[in-house]
Each structure stands twice: as structure tokens, then as C-alpha cells.
Structure 1
Amino acid sequence: MIFGRVKSLDAILATAEKKGLHRSLGAFQLTMLGVGAVIGTGIFVLTSEAAQKAGPGMLLSFVVAGFVCAVAALCYSELASMVPVSGSAYTYTYAVTGEVLAWMVGWALILEYAVGASAVAVGWSNHFVGLLNGLGWHVPAAISNADALMANMYLAFGAAPSPDLTTALQTGGWINFPAIVIIAAVTWLLVIGTTESARANAVLVAIKIVALTAFIALTLPVLNAKNFDPFMPTGFGNPFSSSGLGVLGASASIFFAYVGFDAVSTAAEETKNPQRNVPIGLIASLTICTIFYLLVASGAIGAIGAQPVRSLSGVVLSPGTPEIAGRCAAIVATGAIEPLVCSKEALVHVLDTINWPMVGRFVGLAAVLALPSVVLMMMFGQTRVFFTMARDGLLPSRLASIHPKFRTPHVVTVVTGIAAAIAAAILPVGRLADYSNAGTLFAFLMVAVSVMVLRKTDPSRKRPFRTPLVWVVAPLAIIGCVGLYLSLPLTAKLVLPGWGAIGLVIYFAYSRSRSHVALGLE
């Protein structure tokens, strides 16, 4: 049965009650927590990707993605307040819909956290390389991107040769070495148990906010309305298209920019009057972040334009492909100003173009300083989900082993680090973000399903926070998650079922017979 082997919610809550966390957070603190967790990653690394998919229409994409996050967050909050333990959506699903779906959610969370960490690492690498180049220390393309490698792979799998692919082969690199270095450093920190303090994190949040505020202040005064025309050069988008272009396609990518809002949801057990303060914190933080994103995107578009790059035959190229890398290199080689959609550090490039290079370097430095903490948080989340699954018997117990000196789950941390480093070494940031979003959207969909199931199967259970209008909000979350998933490029759509199939093989071949719930060891 699909709803069989439900892990006892009472057992989970008994563990949670031992924590005895003090309820001290109000609406303002929750809002600031959400703003700090969300702002930064996506707007630094995905602006050019979104512009290539939707042009100026990416402004609508931020609104669409923010709305889907809001309804998903309200569902997330109810379960987070009821099941305030580690394991995220995996634990919630295990307690509500059963082991098989919980396994699938945990397996999908690998795409959210580990692949998401790879995406942020590539974004960090782009800004780090750009910062060094700006200081006169040139980093060879051969070790700072994998465009040439990707072009060779395209040709090996039967892609037709083109001038753009040829240019990518001639000008691109073979491995993203800086991305490997930052993941290795974060993995080492997680193994030895060093964690960022709240004070250090607050400083990094402040740096991000100051940098983006400076960007807005300098770009909005030079905004040119002509740069917004045409507003939707690739249309609104078709969820059943394989291209992933249009406003919906950009929304599916930009969804990555909002990941982190669940920090508000998971703080529900430490919140005073959660029924009132959690929705205020969620909606307020997402509203503030959306407005911030809209101002930054408007400044970038208005200052230098954001029309998609097309092939020599006039076709809009998909971001993250060797064709667009080659086309961009060819455009720059003519002496023309690099289009926004071609830049690997879009905000820095905009400020350089409008003659604020020093502020541009500051924005780049802000990204270099702030993004490693995001890599750390994502990899930390991944290792804890893996650790929880191993402790439940669904993965080898060796993965749940604790280092005798550092008292950290070192084996699963190293495994996660190796996988994240390989992905970051060869894949572009946009592709990684799309793959990460596929896993995130599935996990959030299952959270929305779990909320409705639990309302029917256990209506009397204490809920410190109840999702308002649950029979409207939860279906909206499901529709939104499905819609954004279908708007992803074809390869990202295929990653989730392919990854899920591998997961099911492992579950039925290994995990099902060793589950602690099945063996009565829960």
C-alpha cells in the first residue's frame, strides 16, 4: 500500500518534546529571518538565466515564483509546527503518507540540497573569477568553466555542428576548478564541525542587503523605458514545451531564488502565537524579497537591456548550453558590449557598463563573501536528511556513523561533497538550479498533499499553526508546483523521474527490507 508503513507521529513528537524550545520569536523576527535566508543566492547567480528565458518579462516571473512559494510555505508551516524535528519534508511525509513516498521525498531532497549547493558554488566561482580578473589576475577559461567539455558532449550525442558550438570549443574551458575548491572547503568545515555563528551570518546578510541596495540606487536613475520593449519576447510560456522559455520557464528557474523561506516555517515551534505570527512572517518576508528582486531586476533591465540572445538563424537559445556560450563569445569578440544574458556576474556587469566599476567590484565581493555560507547551509541540510534516512534504516547505517573526534556525520558529508563537486565541475549554474528546483517542487507538492491527508486522518491532532483556507491554499500549492515543474526545460523534467526510478530500485532492493519501521525498531 502506498500509505503503508507510516512512522508513528506520536513517537516523532515524543522526541521533539524533549527539545523544550522556548517560544520567543515574534512576527518581526520571523520576517527578518526569512529575508536573511532568501535574499542573495538567486538574484546574484540567476538574473542572466531568467533574462535569457523571458527578457524583461522576468519581472512577472519573480511574482509568479513568489506566489507559489507563499502558498507552499503556508502548508509547510502547519507540518513544521506539528512535527518540529530534523528531516524536513522527508520526516513530514513519513509521518503522514508512509514510507514509500517518504523515501521518494528524501531522494528528491538530494536534488534540492546537494545539486542546489553545486549551483551556488558555480555562481560563487563566476563571481570569484570575475573579481580576480577585475583586479588584474586572469584566471584561464580552461579551469574556470566547462563550456568546451559541454560542447564536445553535445557533439558526441549527435548535435549538429554549428558556428556557436565551434566558438564554444575554441574559447570555453574543461572544468570549473574554483567551484570544486569551495565545495571541498565547505565539506571540510562540515566534517570538523565548524558552523557559522548567528553574528557572522547577520554580517553577511547585511553585506548582501547593502550591495543590492547600492545596485538599485545606481541603476534606477539611468533606467531607460525602451529597454523594456518588447516586454515578453519569448511569450508567457507553455508548460508543455520542452524549451523552458517564456515567463513561466523563467519562474521555474527563479523559484531557486526563494529557497530558504522554509527557515520561517521550521521556526514555528519557537514562535510566540504561531497561528498569527508565522503567516505574517512568511508573507511579509516573501513580499519584501519579491519587491527587492523586482527593483534589482528593473534596474538591470532598465540600465542596459535584457533581450534574449538568438542564434544566427534567429532562434532564441536556451541558457546553459554550449551554443549560447559560443554565441556570447562571438558577440564579445566583435567589440560589442556583452549582453546582460551572457554575463556570469550580471549585476557586476551592469554596474561596470554604466561606469560604476568600483561599486561593481563591491557587489562582486559581496557575492564572494556571502555565497559560501549558502553552500554550507544547503550541504548541511542534505547531510542531515541523509543522516535521518540512514538512522531510519533506509540507507546503510555506515552513512549515519559519527566521527569519533568531531562528532559529525563525516561519511555522509564526504559523500555529499564529492557528488556536489562533480556536478559543479562540469555543469552550468542555470542547469543545476533547474535540476535542484525539480526536487524542491516535488518535495513541496508532497508537503501540500500531506497537510490535506492529515486533516482527514487525524483532525484532532494539536496544530500550533493551521494553514488558513487549507482546501484552497494546498490545492493552489499543488497546481503551482506542477505548473512550474512542467515549465522547466525538458532535461530538468526528465531528471526527476529518472532520479526517482533509481531511487525506487534502491528502495525495493535494499531499503524496504531493512526499514526500522518494518522491523519494529522505530
Structure 2
Amino acid sequence: MLLDRVKPLDAILATAERKSLHRSLGALQLMLFGIGCIIGTGIFVLTAAGAQKAGPGLMLAFVIAGTVCIVAALCYAEIASMIPVAGSAYTYSYATMGELLAWTVGWALVLEYAIAASAVSVGWSGYFTGTILNDTFGIALPPWLTAGPLALGGAPGGVINLPAMIIALLVTWLLMIGTSESAKVNAVLVAIKVTALTLFIALTLTSAEFDPAHFNPFLPAGVFGGWGTGVGAVGAAATIFFAYVGFDAVSTAAEETKDPQRNVPIGLIGSLLFCTVFYILVAAGAIGTIGGQPIMGPNGIPFPAGSEELARQCAMPQFADALVCSNEALAHVLRQIGFGAIGNMLGYAAILALPSVILVLLFAQTRIFFVMSRDGLLPEGLSKVHPKWKTPYVVTAFTGIVVAIGAAFFPVGQLADIANAGTLYAFGMVAIAVMVLRRTDGARVRSFRVPGLAIIGPLTIAGCLFLFLNLPSEAMLVLPLWTAIGLAIYFAYGRSRSHLGRGVVEVAEVEVASTLEPDIPGIGDRGRD
């Protein structure tokens, strides 16, 4: 049967306990790790894309997306504290629903992390070209070097986003050679981002330019923009959801966490709640000062974010200063209200901090690839460890090239929507896994239990499906096409070579734990001492 290969949970836990990575992380470090990954392109860049979809209703979009993430985080908290090992939703699915569904989840996570890294690279490029090159040194790169081609939703005259491609390749190289950041460095980066956003909130909400009239009409495209259009408050929530997805990366560090039953739930939910409050206040400050009304099409519906039509409108003089047209939204807002120097400082903060987000996303993607490879579902050559660097350099290089290509040719809004499709699927499967474990292994000790799982579990699934159906139709189509490719690979290669199917699970688990010990950015050494 296709669903008969379920990896024994006791075997997973026993192997992780016997040959696990060094457990050194506490609740505060996990929260900082989560905040550091969550606060990135989503708030620094997608504020503009969200405003184009929902206008001032962007604030409601943050609430909608945050609500879905909160119920998903509760499910993650229970299952991550029960199964504190590497692999995230892929491992959880393998232990509950079997190999086939686990493969689809792992394959979706590959899509999520790789495309998300591309999106962050594009966001970094906007701040680099705007703050460093243009405003600091007065250098204006030609349009064909700073955006993807118009045919793919880029800007007029765009051919390739060279800065985005370069930063993606540079971070890939750093990850390949094993360069890591210490916990102190990560804490500094988090402090820089939080300080910058706090300053932004303080300056905008107290600015003389702040005008409640900017919030009217609050929902210019309505709550629901229509199925497949990706506009309206719900459509914006489906895009803005990207601003939250970093919280699930906390679960990838469960195997390195002290007292994971207590600290993983705190790290997950604490970082999520902290960032949700920040996001709503940032949106209020940005829209209240310079406005955030979308550029409407002739049919009364906002032009799609990242579309050819919107790119043409933004090239017109009357929209030059519009929030929805900015590639560096928050820095742009501060410049418009007379805080140009501070706006540049915020731009510097984004330029400094966003590469660490790319690093975390690339690490998480290669970890998923590695775990799938150690299970025999992908060729072992992909996870070959470099004899000097001690990192899986083959899969890292392959992933980095794909990420760089995506960053070079696609706009941030389209990339975020595609990444969200894979994320929403994985989140929904985690909720199913929690409910399955309650039924099949209800006697197992749970240090954290989802309150009212009979309600929270279905709400998580429904919320993920709801947001998925409000993505642009092109983004919705990517997931089934990607899944079809993945299933073809699974049946052509993975199923016949699966370690579980061949009965060699224990050997595969032990070998991996002793072979790969790469540094995760922001949380220091991982047991090499």
C-alpha cells in the first residue's frame, strides 16, 4: 500500500537521543532565533505589495495571517516538543502519515525555503540599490541590472536583478565553507532590526504627517478580492503570510534545544506574538503618514502586485512617491516625512540583517534535502559532506544556484506567493499529524498539549486552505505542478531506494547524526567540541 511506510516514532526519538546534536539552546535564544528569521523581507519589503492588494486594510491582513499562524504554531509546539529532532514537518509527517505524504511535505518545504530565500534576496537588492548606491553614493544602476524581465512581472527595461543574484551566491558560498555566526552576533542583528522598526513606529505614529484620513477608504478592494485574484484584505493576507513563515524554522532547531518540551513552544509562540504586534504598528505608521491606497485598474480592482501593468503605472511621475511602488518601503516612508538620514539608517539595518535571513532559509532548505537523502529518498551524492568544510556542499551549491536564478528574474511579490503555497501545505499537514498522533499514540507524554485540538486542528487546516485559495491563480498552480514533479521523482527513484522500505532506518539515522554538523546561523556551535 502507498501509505503503509510509517517510520516508528520510538526509533526516531531513540536515535536522536543516542546520537543527537549538542543541546545548548534555551527559550530566549529560540525566541531570538525565531524573531531574527521572521523579521525580514516580509515587513521591510512586502509592506508595499500588501498595500497594493489591500490598501489600509493591510493592517487587517496582518491580523488574518497572524491568526492562521498562531493556531498553526500551537500545533507545531505540541509536535515539535514530542519529536524534538531535525526535519521539521517532513519528519513529523513521516512518523504519523507515512512516507508518501512525508515526501510531498518535504518536497513542498524545499519549494518554500528555496523560493523564500530568492524573495529575501530580491528584497535585499531593493534596499542595497536604493539606500547604498543611490542615496549614499549617488550611483544609479541601469534598470536592466536591477530587475527581472517585464515578461516575468519585472520592471520596464529589466533584464536581470544582478545585486539579488550576487547576494544569493555570496551567502551560498559562506554556507558552503561553514562560516557561521555566534549567538551573540545573532542577538545583535535581532536588536538592530527591532530597534530600527521601533524607531520607525515612534517616528511615524507621532509625525505631523500622520493623518487618519489616509486610512479612508480602509478596504478599497474589499475583504475578498475574488478567487484567484490575490487582492483584497484576504488576498493581502495570503501574501503577507510570508512575513510570518520564519517561525517554523524554530522547529528545525529542536534537536539542539535544552528542555525542548518547554522551550520549543515558548520560542515558537513567543516570537510569533512579538512580531505580530510589530507588524500591525509598522503598517499603521507607514499608511498613516504617506497613505497606502492601491493603484486601481480600469475595472476598479487593484493592479496585481508584481504585475506588468503595475510596473508601468509605477514608472509614471504621479506614482513615483507612492508606497505601493517602493522597493524599500519603510526607508521610503521615512524619507517622505523628512527623516531621510534615519530612513537611510533603516535601509542599512535591512541591508545588514537580510543576508542572515537568507542564510537561515538556505540552511533550512539544505537540512530538509539532507534528511530526505539520509532516508534514501534522494541520492546520497546530494548530501556529500566536504572533507575540509564539513558541510553538504553539493546540495548547498545546487540550492544556491536555483535560488540565485529565482532572485535574478522574478519580483519579490510573485516569489513570496509561490513560497507561501508550499508553506501553507506544510502547515496544514502538521495540524493533521498532531490530530493523528492524538488518536494513534494518545498515551505518550506531551509536555505541551494544544488546547481544544478538536477545534484548533481543523481551524489550522481550514485557515491554510483559505489563504491558499486566495493566492493569485498562478501561485496556486505552482504547488500541484511542483508536487507532480516530486511524485514522479519519488516513484522513479525514492520509493525503491527508501531506507525504511529496505529496513535500514537505524543505520541511516546514526550515520547522519555523526556526519553532518553544520553551523546554524545565529545559534553558535553545534556540538563539535
Q: What TM-score do the two structures reach when normalised by structure 2?
A: 0.90
Query: Partner residue of 1:133?
Result: 134
By how many angstroms is 1:411 displaced? 0.7
* Structure 2 portions without partners, runs of 5+: 506-529
Query: Partner residue of 1:253?
Result: 239
Query: Partner residue of 1:77?
Result: 77
Pick aligned residue for 1:459 from 419, 436, 442 = 442
1:317-360 CA-to-partner distances (Å, cap 9, x unmatched) read 00011110111102x2x5x6521101111111111111111011
Cα separation, 2, equivalents of 1:137 and 1:496: 39
Cα separation, 1, equivalents of 2:501 and 2:328: 50
Cα separation, 1, equivalents of 2:494 and 2:231: 39
1:359-405 CA-to-partner distances (Å, cap 9, x unmatched) read 11001111100000000000000011101111111111111211121
Cα separation, 1, equivalents of 2:453 and 2:463: 15
Pick aligned residue for 1:144 from 146, 156, 167 = 146
The answer to whether residue 393 in structure 2 is matched with residue 410 in structure 1 is: yes
Cα separation, 1, equivalents of 2:82 and 2:262: 16
One-letter amino acid of the counterpart of residue 416, structure 1: T
One-letter amino acid of the counterpart of residue 89, structure 2: A
Cα separation, 2, equivalents of 1:200 and 1:59: 32
* 1:396-407 → structure 2 map (5 Å cutoff): 396-407=379-390
Pick aligned residue for 1:232 from 213, 219, 227 = 219
One-letter amino acid of the counterpart of residue 435, structure 1: I
By how many angstroms is 1:461 displaced? 2.2
One-letter amino acid of the counterpart of residue 478, structure 1: I
Cα separation, 2, equivalents of 1:260 and 1:426: 23
Local SS of the residue matching 2:58: helix
The answer to whether residue 441 in structure 2 is matched with residue 441 in structure 1 is: no
8 Å CA contact retained: 1:216, 1:295:
yes
The answer to whether residue 172 in structure 2 is matched with residue 187 in structure 1 is: yes
Cα separation, 1, equivalents of 2:267 and 2:48: 29
Pick aligned residue for 1:431 from 396, 410, 414 = 414
By how many angstroms is 1:148 displaced? 3.2
Query: Partner residue of 1:323?
Result: 309
Cα separation, 1, equivalents of 2:346 and 2:415: 23
Query: Partner residue of 2:115?
Result: 115
By how many angstroms is 1:273 displaced? 7.2
The answer to whether residue 299 in structure 2 is matched with residue 299 in structure 1 is: no
1:139-168 CA-to-partner distances (Å, cap 9, x unmatched) read 11111101434369xxxxxxxxxxxxxxx5
One-letter amino acid of the counterpart of residue 321, structure 2: E
Query: Partner residue of 1:36?
Result: 36
Does the C-alpha gap of structure 1 residues 287 and 320 become closer, same or farther in structure 2, counting only changes over 3 Å?
same
Cα separation, 2, equivalents of 1:503 and 1:373: 29
Pick aligned residue for 1:490 from 468, 473, 479 = 473
Query: Partner residue of 2:193?
Result: 208
Local SS of the residue matching 1:5: coil
Pick aligned residue for 1:384 from 367, 392, 395 = 367
Pick aligned residue for 2:376 from 384, 393, 410 = 393
8 Å CA contact retained: 1:147, 1:325:
no
One-letter amino acid of the counterpart of residue 230, structure 2: G
By how many angstroms is 1:311 displaced? 3.4
Local SS of the residue matching 1:367: helix
One-letter amino acid of the counterpart of residue 253, structure 1: T
* Structure 1 portions without partners, runs of 5+: 153-167
1:264-316 CA-to-partner distances (Å, cap 9, x unmatched) read 54566777776666555544432221111111110100001000112356542
One-letter amino acid of the counterpart of residue 304, structure 2: S
Instruction: Out of 76-85 and 17-26, give the one that drifted further.
Output: 17-26
One-letter amino acid of the counterpart of residue 133, structure 1: N
Instruction: Out of 31-40 and 70-79, give the one that drifted further.
Output: 31-40
Q: How many residues align?
A: 500
8 Å CA contact retained: 2:38, 2:275:
yes
Local SS of the residue matching 2:246: coil
Does the C-alpha gap of structure 1 residues 456 and 126 become closer, same or farther in structure 2, counting only changes over 3 Å?
same
The answer to whether residue 474 in structure 2 is matched with residue 474 in structure 1 is: no
Cα separation, 1, equivalents of 2:439 and 2:299: 56
Cα separation, 1, equivalents of 2:157 and 2:164: 16
Cα separation, 2, equivalents of 1:399 and 1:178: 28
8 Å CA contact retained: 1:114, 1:378:
yes
Local SS of the residue matching 2:296: coil
Local SS of the residue matching 1:261: helix
By how many angstroms is 1:41 displaced? 2.9
Does the C-alpha gap of structure 1 residues 439 and 350 become closer, same or farther in structure 2, counting only changes over 3 Å?
same
Local SS of the residue matching 2:315: helix
Q: What TM-score do the two structures reach when normalised by structure 1?
A: 0.91
Cα separation, 1, equivalents of 2:491 and 2:213: 58
8 Å CA contact retained: 1:2, 1:101:
no
Does the C-alpha gap of structure 1 residues 408 and 24 become closer, same or farther in structure 2, counting only changes over 3 Å?
closer
